[in-house]
């Protein structure tokens, strides 16, 4: 089922146990917004023992003849038996090979900015380390002017994730390596994880360290300050009835006044700053509850069960824990020589209302979850982006509707 290639030469196959294709403890790790990794030990008899060069040789992993991961050897050691212990990083890490020169990018969309970064990256690296812009479904109507100044391209991509969340995904079509930036999880797996069947671990965490009932939003730095020795920043006073505070009355009544300062140093419009502050506070007036599960992939016991893929959403049923909902697949750990022991971790952050924090939480969580929209709506993007989005939708239905202004909206969904 699984095979490993080095520059197109098969060095491992879990079906054909030939001496020159033996690999010890091959393990593939796939993770959301990560390059992923492959670790393995090559005995001296292996075909790739002498040919694999760190940072040069292209390494790939195939499942059923289809590539599911690719990268390059990054580090190595040799053990007592002279085996080469290789650690390989995935293709997303190629963005660590380039830096972005001093530049200013005004008036771009998220997609336009990504495309600009990729263009610079491609101008510096060989063809087998280059990318094309793929599907981008993350938007910001007030996307700020971006500045670059010798940062690693990967660091700038991580900065987008920190600000907008979403999912960076490497996707290949006809030999072209695309970088997608997705706001939603792209697919739903038909497999079900159920307590008493294949659910093997369950953890639940809460964190209220960032909780606030009121915030002081600050925008860009002003040219003049009433206190000469201190910097002054844009506030919302002019559009918020003279108050610099944005608060949640419900939260203040329940928990009292808990304030913090939140800065948006690229916002210069008080009205935009107020909008961002309200959205931020509306999110922060909820306690974060993180759920993480580990389970066995039933596909390895029954080939008719759909295999689980990274970024799939999959249904979890656990009556003792009060769960019956979809969770995103955040991480896969695959021992290639024992694929039936594959473990995947699913995690999400759901919110429980402050006013019901002392009530039975599971019911409130399920109610919120069931109310979440599942349609993947592509609101607006250039023709190239729409094409990429449709190309990546391998299952489901595509619907185009017109709004009251005559604008087209494209929907990709698993249901009609």
Give yes or no for residue 396 having a pLDDT over 80: no
**Residue-level pLDDT at 208:** 64
Q: Against a cut of 0.85, is the pTM above it? A: no
Give yes or no for residue 380 having a pLDDT over 60: no
User: What is the domain count for the chain?
Assistant: 5
Are 201 and 293 part of one and the same domain? yes
DSSP state of 91: G
Residue predicted with more confidence, 25 or 407? 25
247-295: pLDDT as tens digits? 988 778 877 898 999 999 999 999 999 999 988 776 543 445 555 666 7
Are 198 and 304 part of one and the same domain? yes
Q: Could you write out the DSSP letters of every residue in 317-377?
A: EEGGGTEEEEEEEEEEEEETTSGGG-EEEEEEEEEEEGGGTTS-HHHHHHHHHHTS---EE
CA atoms within 13 A on the CB side of 176: 10
**Residue-level pLDDT at 362:** 36
Residue predicted with more confidence, 189 or 169? 169
Instruction: Say which CATH number the domain at 335 has.
Output: 2.40.30
Are 8 and 87 part of one and the same domain? yes
Are 36 and 153 part of one and the same domain? no
Query: Lowest mean pLDDT: which of 80-84, 153-157, 368-372?
Result: 368-372
| Residue entry with tokens 């998220």 | 110
**Residue-level pLDDT at 372:** 38
Are 270 and 313 part of one and the same domain? no
Rounded to an integer, the average pLDDT of 126-147 is 94
Write out the two tokens for 104.
Answer: 């200013």
Are 104 and 174 part of one and the same domain? yes
325-379: pLDDT as tens digits? 788 888 999 999 988 778 877 776 554 444 333 333 334 333 433 443 333 333 3
Strands (DSSP E) along 149-249, which ranges? Answer: 151-152, 167-173, 176-182, 187-194, 199-207, 214-218, 246-247
Are 248 and 192 part of one and the same domain? no
Are 336 and 191 part of one and the same domain? yes
34-66: pLDDT as tens digits? 999 999 999 999 999 999 999 999 999 999 899
Rounded to an integer, the average pLDDT of 6-22 is 91
Distance between alpha carbon 213 and the CA centroid of its chain, in Å?
A: 29
Give yes or no for residue 233 having a pLDDT over 70: yes
Residue predicted with more confidence, 297 or 125? 125
Give the number of other CB atoms < 10 A from CB of residue 247: 18
Per-residue b/e over 79-103, b at no fewer than 16 CB within 10 Å? eeeebbebebbbbbbbbeebbbeee
Gap between the Cα atoms of 346 and 291, Å rounded: 8
Are 106 and 160 part of one and the same domain? yes
Rounded to an integer, the average pLDDT of 239-243 is 96
| CA distances to 164, 210, 361, 364, 397 from 358, in Å | 31, 19, 8, 11, 42
Give yes or no for residue 172 having a pLDDT over 80: yes
Are 202 and 321 part of one and the same domain? yes
Q: Which domain holds residue 327?
A: 187-208+288-370
Write out the two tokens for 258.
Answer: 């808990």
Are 143 and 193 part of one and the same domain? no
Write out the two tokens for 230.
Answer: 């201190």
**What percentage of residues in the chain have a pLDDT greater than 70?**
75
DSSP state of 160: H
Is the separation of the CB atoms in 412 and 397 below 8 Å?
Answer: yes
Are 103 and 156 part of one and the same domain? yes
Residue among 27, 31, 21 at smallest CA distance from 39: 27
What integer best gives the mean pLDDT of the chain?
82
Give yes or no for residue 395 having a pLDDT over 60: no
**What percentage of residues in the chain have a pLDDT greater than 90?**
52
């Amino acid at each position: 089922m699984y095979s490993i290639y080095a520059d197109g030469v098969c060095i491992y196959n879990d079906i054909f146990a030939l001496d020159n294709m033996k690999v010890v403890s091959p393990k593939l790790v796939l993770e959301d917004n990560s390059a992923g990794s492959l670790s393995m030990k090559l005995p001296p008899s292996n075909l790739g023992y002498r040919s694999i060069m760190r940072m040069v040789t292209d390494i790939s992993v195939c499942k059923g003849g289809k590539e599911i991961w690719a990268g390059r050897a990054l580090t190595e050691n040799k053990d007592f038996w002279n085996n080469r212990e290789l650690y390989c990083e995935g293709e997303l890490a190629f963005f660590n090979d380039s830096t972005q020169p001093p530049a200013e990018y005004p008036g771009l969309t998220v997609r336009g900015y990504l495309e600009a970064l990729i263009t610079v990256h491609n101008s510096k690296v060989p063809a087998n380390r280059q990318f094309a812009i793929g599907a981008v479904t993350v938007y910001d109507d007030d996307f700020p002017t971006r500045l670059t100044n010798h940062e690693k391209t990967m660091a700038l991509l991580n900065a987008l994730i920190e600000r907008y969340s979403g999912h960076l995904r490497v996707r290949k079509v006809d030999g072209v390596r695309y970088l997608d930036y997705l706001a939603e999880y792209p697919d739903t797996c038909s497999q079900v994880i159920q307590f008493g069947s294949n659910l093997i671990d369950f953890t639940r965490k809460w964190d209220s360290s960032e909780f606030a009932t009121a915030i002081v939003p600050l925008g860009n730095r002003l040219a003049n300050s009433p206190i000469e020795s201190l910097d002054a920043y844009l506030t919302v006073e002019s559009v918020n009835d003279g108050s610099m505070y944005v608060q949640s009355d419900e939260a203040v009544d329940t928990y009292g006044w808990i304030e913090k300062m939140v800065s948006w140093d690229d916002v210069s419009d008080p009205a935009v700053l107020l909008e961002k502050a309200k959205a931020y506070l509306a999110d922060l007036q909820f306690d974060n509850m993180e759920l993480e599960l580990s389970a066995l992939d039933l596909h390895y016991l029954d080939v008719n069960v759909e295999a689980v893929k990274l970024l799939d959403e999959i249904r979890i049923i656990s009556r003792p824990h009060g769960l019956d909902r979809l969770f995103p697949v955040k991480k896969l750990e695959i021992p290639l020589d024992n694929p039936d022991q594959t473990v995947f971790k699913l995690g999400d952050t759901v919110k429980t209302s402050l006013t019901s924090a002392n009530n039975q939480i599971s019911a409130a969580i399920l109610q919120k979850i069931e109310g979440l929209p599942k349609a993947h709506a592509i609101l607006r993007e250039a023709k190239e982006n729409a094409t990429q989005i449709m190309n990546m939708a391998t299952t489901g239905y595509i619907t185009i509707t017109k709004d009251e202004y005559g604008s087209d909206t494209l929907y990709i969904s698993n249901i009609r």
